[in-house]
Protein backbone atom coordinates (compact mmCIF):
# COMPACT_ATOMS: atom_id res chain seq x y z
CA UNK A 1 0.00 0.00 0.00
CA UNK A 2 1.28 3.55 -0.71
CA UNK A 3 0.80 4.70 2.91
CA UNK A 4 0.30 2.68 6.07
CA UNK A 5 -2.72 3.26 8.33
CA UNK A 6 -0.36 4.89 10.83
CA UNK A 7 1.03 7.25 8.18
CA UNK A 8 -2.47 8.13 7.00
CA UNK A 9 -3.53 8.91 10.56
CA UNK A 10 -0.49 11.20 10.89
CA UNK A 11 -1.34 12.91 7.59
CA UNK A 12 -4.96 13.45 8.67
CA UNK A 13 -3.83 14.89 12.00
CA UNK A 14 -1.34 17.25 10.38
CA UNK A 15 -3.81 18.51 7.78
CA UNK A 16 -6.56 19.03 10.36
CA UNK A 17 -4.45 21.20 12.68
CA UNK A 18 -3.17 24.28 10.81
CA UNK A 19 -1.04 26.71 12.79
CA UNK A 20 -0.66 30.49 12.32
CA UNK A 21 2.62 31.78 10.87
CA UNK A 22 4.26 35.07 10.00
CA UNK A 23 6.35 33.57 7.23
CA UNK A 24 5.48 33.66 3.52
CA UNK A 25 2.83 31.12 2.56
CA UNK A 26 2.42 29.75 -0.98
CA UNK A 27 -1.22 28.63 -1.33
CA UNK A 28 -0.48 26.28 -4.23
CA UNK A 29 1.90 24.07 -2.26
CA UNK A 30 -0.08 24.44 0.97
CA UNK A 31 -2.77 22.34 -0.72
CA UNK A 32 -0.20 19.54 -1.17
CA UNK A 33 1.22 19.62 2.37
CA UNK A 34 1.50 16.17 3.99
CA UNK A 35 -0.76 14.43 1.45
CA UNK A 36 0.70 11.39 -0.32
CA UNK A 37 0.72 11.47 -4.12
CA UNK A 38 0.71 7.83 -5.30
CA UNK A 39 3.53 6.79 -7.65
CA UNK A 40 4.10 3.32 -9.15
CA UNK A 41 2.43 0.41 -7.32
CA UNK A 42 3.43 1.16 -3.71
CA UNK A 43 5.33 4.45 -3.85
CA UNK A 44 4.44 8.04 -3.07
CA UNK A 45 5.72 11.60 -2.81
CA UNK A 46 4.62 14.00 -0.04
CA UNK A 47 5.54 17.57 0.75
CA UNK A 48 6.62 17.85 4.40
CA UNK A 49 7.78 21.47 4.47
CA UNK A 50 8.83 24.30 2.16
CA UNK A 51 10.30 27.79 2.18
CA UNK A 52 9.77 30.64 -0.26
CA UNK A 53 7.69 31.34 -3.36
CA UNK A 54 7.96 33.28 -6.64
CA UNK A 55 8.22 36.55 -4.71
CA UNK A 56 11.17 35.22 -2.68
CA UNK A 57 13.08 34.58 -5.91
CA UNK A 58 12.51 38.16 -7.05
CA UNK A 59 13.32 39.58 -3.62
CA UNK A 60 16.66 37.73 -3.57
CA UNK A 61 17.49 38.87 -7.10
CA UNK A 62 16.75 42.51 -6.36
CA UNK A 63 18.85 42.45 -3.19
CA UNK A 64 21.68 40.83 -5.09
CA UNK A 65 21.58 42.91 -8.26
CA UNK A 66 20.27 46.20 -6.88
CA UNK A 67 19.34 48.89 -9.39
CA UNK A 68 20.21 46.66 -12.33
CA UNK A 69 16.88 44.88 -12.09
CA UNK A 70 14.58 47.87 -11.69
CA UNK A 71 13.89 48.07 -15.40
CA UNK A 72 12.08 44.74 -15.15
CA UNK A 73 8.44 45.73 -14.73
CA UNK A 74 7.05 42.62 -13.08
CA UNK A 75 8.07 39.56 -11.14
CA UNK A 76 7.27 37.12 -13.93
CA UNK A 77 9.46 39.07 -16.33
CA UNK A 78 12.31 39.14 -13.83
CA UNK A 79 12.04 35.40 -13.22
CA UNK A 80 12.13 34.73 -16.97
CA UNK A 81 15.21 36.96 -17.23
CA UNK A 82 16.93 35.03 -14.43
CA UNK A 83 16.09 31.68 -16.02
CA UNK A 84 17.09 32.84 -19.50
CA UNK A 85 20.50 34.03 -18.32
CA UNK A 86 21.19 31.00 -16.11
CA UNK A 87 21.20 32.89 -12.79
CA UNK A 88 21.00 30.27 -10.06
CA UNK A 89 21.26 31.79 -6.58
CA UNK A 90 17.82 33.52 -6.55
CA UNK A 91 16.18 30.12 -7.16
CA UNK A 92 18.21 28.63 -4.30
CA UNK A 93 16.21 30.84 -1.90
CA UNK A 94 13.28 28.41 -2.22
CA UNK A 95 13.49 24.97 -0.63
CA UNK A 96 11.22 21.96 -0.25
CA UNK A 97 11.40 18.88 1.99
CA UNK A 98 9.84 15.72 0.60
CA UNK A 99 8.99 12.31 2.00
CA UNK A 100 9.46 9.77 -0.81
CA UNK A 101 8.75 6.06 -0.93
CA UNK A 102 10.50 4.43 -3.87
CA UNK A 103 12.15 1.19 -5.05
CA UNK A 104 15.82 0.84 -4.13
CA UNK A 105 16.99 0.79 -7.76
CA UNK A 106 15.19 4.10 -8.36
CA UNK A 107 16.75 5.51 -5.19
CA UNK A 108 20.20 4.61 -6.51
CA UNK A 109 19.53 6.70 -9.63
CA UNK A 110 17.99 9.53 -7.61
CA UNK A 111 20.91 9.75 -5.18
CA UNK A 112 23.21 10.71 -8.06
CA UNK A 113 21.75 14.20 -7.60
CA UNK A 114 24.07 15.00 -4.74
CA UNK A 115 23.05 18.64 -4.18
CA UNK A 116 20.39 17.78 -1.62
CA UNK A 117 20.04 16.59 1.98
CA UNK A 118 18.91 12.98 2.42
CA UNK A 119 17.95 10.81 5.36
CA UNK A 120 16.92 7.27 4.41
CA UNK A 121 15.01 4.57 6.28
CA UNK A 122 17.65 2.31 7.83
CA UNK A 123 17.42 -1.44 7.33
CA UNK A 124 20.19 -1.77 9.94
CA UNK A 125 17.72 -0.79 12.67
CA UNK A 126 14.33 -1.57 11.16
CA UNK A 127 12.76 -4.35 9.14
CA UNK A 128 11.80 -3.51 5.57
CA UNK A 129 8.22 -4.15 4.52
CA UNK A 130 7.25 -6.91 2.11
CA UNK A 131 6.66 -4.47 -0.73
CA UNK A 132 8.26 -4.74 -4.15
CA UNK A 133 7.90 -2.86 -7.38
CA UNK A 134 6.45 -5.15 -10.02
CA UNK A 135 6.09 -3.44 -13.43
CA UNK A 136 2.77 -3.42 -15.21
CA UNK A 137 2.86 -5.77 -18.24
CA UNK A 138 2.90 -2.84 -20.68
CA UNK A 139 6.05 -1.47 -19.01
CA UNK A 140 8.12 -4.59 -19.69
CA UNK A 141 10.41 -4.04 -22.66
CA UNK A 142 13.45 -5.56 -24.32
CA UNK A 143 16.90 -3.95 -24.26
CA UNK A 144 17.25 -1.17 -26.83
CA UNK A 145 19.61 -2.02 -29.70
CA UNK A 146 20.60 1.64 -30.22
CA UNK A 147 20.81 2.91 -26.61
CA UNK A 148 22.61 0.94 -23.91
CA UNK A 149 20.64 2.84 -21.25
CA UNK A 150 17.20 2.46 -22.82
CA UNK A 151 14.34 0.13 -23.63
CA UNK A 152 13.27 -1.29 -26.96
CA UNK A 153 10.11 -3.02 -28.08
CA UNK A 154 7.61 -4.16 -25.40
CA UNK A 155 7.66 -7.80 -24.33
CA UNK A 156 4.48 -9.65 -25.20
CA UNK A 157 2.62 -12.87 -24.52
CA UNK A 158 4.50 -15.75 -22.95
CA UNK A 159 7.77 -13.83 -22.68
CA UNK A 160 6.14 -11.04 -20.66
CA UNK A 161 4.33 -13.56 -18.45
CA UNK A 162 7.57 -15.47 -17.82
CA UNK A 163 9.44 -12.31 -16.79
CA UNK A 164 6.64 -11.23 -14.44
CA UNK A 165 6.65 -14.64 -12.77
CA UNK A 166 10.41 -14.40 -12.24
CA UNK A 167 10.11 -10.93 -10.73
CA UNK A 168 7.29 -11.90 -8.37
CA UNK A 169 8.73 -15.28 -7.42
CA UNK A 170 12.29 -14.08 -6.81
CA UNK A 171 11.09 -11.12 -4.70
CA UNK A 172 8.85 -13.34 -2.55
CA UNK A 173 11.54 -15.98 -2.06
CA UNK A 174 14.20 -13.41 -1.12
CA UNK A 175 11.89 -11.80 1.43
CA UNK A 176 10.95 -15.20 2.90
CA UNK A 177 14.65 -15.93 3.44
CA UNK A 178 15.19 -12.42 4.84
CA UNK A 179 12.48 -13.05 7.43
CA UNK A 180 13.88 -16.46 8.28
CA UNK A 181 17.38 -15.10 8.78
CA UNK A 182 16.36 -12.33 11.18
CA UNK A 183 14.01 -14.57 13.20
CA UNK A 184 15.21 -18.04 14.13
CA UNK A 185 12.34 -19.59 16.13
CA UNK A 186 13.02 -17.58 19.26
CA UNK A 187 16.78 -17.73 18.82
CA UNK A 188 18.85 -14.69 17.99
CA UNK A 189 18.86 -14.39 14.18
CA UNK A 190 21.25 -12.84 11.72
CA UNK A 191 21.95 -9.13 12.19
CA UNK A 192 19.57 -6.97 10.21
CA UNK A 193 22.47 -5.10 8.63
CA UNK A 194 23.59 -8.41 7.09
CA UNK A 195 20.21 -9.92 6.31
CA UNK A 196 19.22 -6.90 4.21
CA UNK A 197 21.84 -7.71 1.57
CA UNK A 198 19.69 -10.61 0.38
CA UNK A 199 16.82 -8.33 -0.65
CA UNK A 200 16.36 -7.47 -4.33
CA UNK A 201 16.72 -3.98 -5.78
CA UNK A 202 12.96 -3.64 -6.33
CA UNK A 203 12.19 -3.62 -2.58
CA UNK A 204 10.79 -0.27 -1.41
CA UNK A 205 12.71 2.16 0.77
CA UNK A 206 11.78 5.62 2.08
CA UNK A 207 13.62 8.85 2.67
CA UNK A 208 13.33 12.54 3.44
CA UNK A 209 14.86 14.61 0.63
CA UNK A 210 15.40 18.36 1.04
CA UNK A 211 16.52 20.41 -1.95
CA UNK A 212 16.54 24.00 -3.15
CA UNK A 213 14.57 25.01 -6.25
CA UNK A 214 17.61 25.52 -8.48
CA UNK A 215 18.81 21.96 -7.92
CA UNK A 216 15.27 20.59 -8.03
CA UNK A 217 14.88 22.14 -11.49
CA UNK A 218 18.09 20.38 -12.55
CA UNK A 219 16.67 17.07 -11.27
CA UNK A 220 13.39 17.63 -13.11
CA UNK A 221 15.09 18.65 -16.36
CA UNK A 222 16.88 15.30 -16.46
CA UNK A 223 14.37 12.97 -14.83
CA UNK A 224 11.09 14.33 -16.27
CA UNK A 225 12.55 14.13 -19.76
CA UNK A 226 10.93 11.66 -22.15
CA UNK A 227 14.24 9.76 -22.39
CA UNK A 228 14.54 9.19 -18.63
CA UNK A 229 13.78 5.74 -17.21
CA UNK A 230 10.05 5.36 -16.69
CA UNK A 231 10.28 4.40 -13.02
CA UNK A 232 12.06 7.61 -12.00
CA UNK A 233 10.26 9.73 -14.59
CA UNK A 234 6.87 9.18 -12.95
CA UNK A 235 8.26 10.53 -9.66
CA UNK A 236 9.65 13.57 -11.48
CA UNK A 237 6.31 14.14 -13.22
CA UNK A 238 4.51 14.06 -9.87
CA UNK A 239 6.98 16.63 -8.57
CA UNK A 240 6.46 18.81 -11.64
CA UNK A 241 2.80 19.15 -10.68
CA UNK A 242 3.75 20.16 -7.14
CA UNK A 243 6.33 22.72 -8.27
CA UNK A 244 3.91 24.16 -10.83
CA UNK A 245 1.47 24.90 -8.00
CA UNK A 246 4.20 26.14 -5.65
CA UNK A 247 6.06 28.62 -7.90
CA UNK A 248 3.96 29.01 -11.07
CA UNK A 249 6.03 31.83 -12.57
CA UNK A 250 9.34 30.05 -11.99
CA UNK A 251 7.97 26.75 -13.25
CA UNK A 252 6.59 28.43 -16.37
CA UNK A 253 10.03 29.88 -17.14
CA UNK A 254 11.68 26.52 -16.41
CA UNK A 255 9.23 24.73 -18.68
CA UNK A 256 9.86 27.22 -21.48
CA UNK A 257 13.63 27.61 -21.30
CA UNK A 258 14.78 24.25 -19.91
CA UNK A 259 12.17 21.61 -20.70
CA UNK A 260 10.92 23.04 -24.00
CA UNK A 261 14.03 24.91 -25.08
CA UNK A 262 17.27 23.68 -26.63
CA UNK A 263 20.97 24.49 -26.30
CA UNK A 264 22.98 24.95 -29.46
CA UNK A 265 26.71 24.53 -29.93
CA UNK A 266 28.60 27.13 -31.93
CA UNK A 267 28.60 24.70 -34.88
CA UNK A 268 24.88 24.12 -34.54
CA UNK A 269 24.17 27.84 -34.50
CA UNK A 270 26.38 28.29 -37.55
CA UNK A 271 24.47 25.54 -39.38
CA UNK A 272 21.15 27.23 -38.67
CA UNK A 273 22.47 30.56 -39.96
CA UNK A 274 23.66 28.85 -43.14
CA UNK A 275 20.31 27.09 -43.57
CA UNK A 276 18.43 30.37 -43.13
CA UNK A 277 20.67 31.87 -45.81
CA UNK A 278 19.50 29.14 -48.20
CA UNK A 279 22.53 26.85 -48.04
CA UNK A 280 22.05 23.09 -48.04
CA UNK A 281 23.94 21.81 -45.00
CA UNK A 282 24.87 18.13 -44.65
CA UNK A 283 26.51 16.19 -41.87
CA UNK A 284 29.76 16.19 -43.83
CA UNK A 285 29.73 19.98 -44.25
CA UNK A 286 28.46 20.71 -40.74
CA UNK A 287 31.64 19.85 -38.88
CA UNK A 288 29.59 17.61 -36.55
CA UNK A 289 30.00 13.94 -35.78
CA UNK A 290 27.27 11.53 -36.86
CA UNK A 291 25.88 11.45 -33.33
CA UNK A 292 25.87 15.26 -33.03
CA UNK A 293 24.22 15.60 -36.44
CA UNK A 294 21.53 13.06 -35.53
CA UNK A 295 20.74 14.97 -32.32
CA UNK A 296 20.79 18.28 -34.20
CA UNK A 297 18.29 16.98 -36.75
CA UNK A 298 16.11 15.62 -33.96
CA UNK A 299 16.11 19.03 -32.27
CA UNK A 300 14.99 20.69 -35.53
CA UNK A 301 12.29 18.08 -36.01
Say what the pLDDT of residue 67 is: 56
Query: HSE on the CB side for 129, CA within 13 Å?
Result: 16
Identify the CA nearest to 52 among candidates 96, 94, 98.
94
Residue 202, φ and ψ in degrees, nearest 5: -95, 5
Active site residue 151: no
| Cβ-proximal residues to 255 (8 Å cutoff; 6+ apart), any chain | none
Contact 208, 98 (CB under 8 A): yes
Q: How far apart are CA 43 and CA 263, in angstroms?
A: 34
For residue 66, the model assigns a pLDDT of 60
Return the pLDDT at 68.
54
DSSP strands (E only) in the chain: 36-39, 43-51, 95-103, 117-120, 141-143, 151-154, 183-184, 187-188, 204-212
Please report the pLDDT score of residue 5 as a whole number: 86
CA–CA dist 141, 159 (Å, integer)? 10
What pLDDT is attached to residue 1? 65
Q: Which of 223, 233, 258, 274 is catalytic?
A: 223
> In 3-state terms, what secondary structure has residue 252?
helix
- What is the phi/psi pair of residue 166, to 5°? -60, -45
Does the domain spanning 5-133+202-259 belong to CATH 3.30.1360.170? yes
**What is the residue-level pLDDT of the chain in tens, covering all 301 positions?**
678 888 888 888 888 888 888 888 999 999 999 999 999 999 999 999 999 999 999 999 988 666 555 544 588 999 999 999 999 999 999 999 999 999 999 999 999 999 999 999 999 989 999 999 999 999 988 887 777 677 778 888 899 999 999 999 999 999 999 999 998 776 778 999 999 999 999 999 999 999 999 999 999 999 999 989 999 999 999 999 999 999 999 999 999 999 999 889 999 999 999 999 999 999 999 999 999 999 999 888 8
Dist CA 217 CA 115 (whole Å): 12
| Residues 294, 297: Cα–Cα separation, whole Å | 5
Range 27-33 contact pairs with CB under 8 angstroms and sequence separation of 24 or more = 28/244, 28/245, 28/246, 28/247, 28/248, 29/96, 29/242, 29/245, 29/246, 31/245, 32/242, 32/245, 32/246
pLDDT at 150: 75
Amino acid sequence: MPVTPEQQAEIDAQRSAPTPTLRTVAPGIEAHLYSAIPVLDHGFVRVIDYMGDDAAICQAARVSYGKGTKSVSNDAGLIRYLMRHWHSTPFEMCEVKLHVKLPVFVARQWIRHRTANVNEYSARYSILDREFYIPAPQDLAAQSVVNNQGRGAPLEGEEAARVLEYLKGDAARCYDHYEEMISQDGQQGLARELARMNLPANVYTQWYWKVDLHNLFHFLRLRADAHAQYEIRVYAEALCNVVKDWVPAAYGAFEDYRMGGANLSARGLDCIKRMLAGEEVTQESSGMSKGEWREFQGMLG
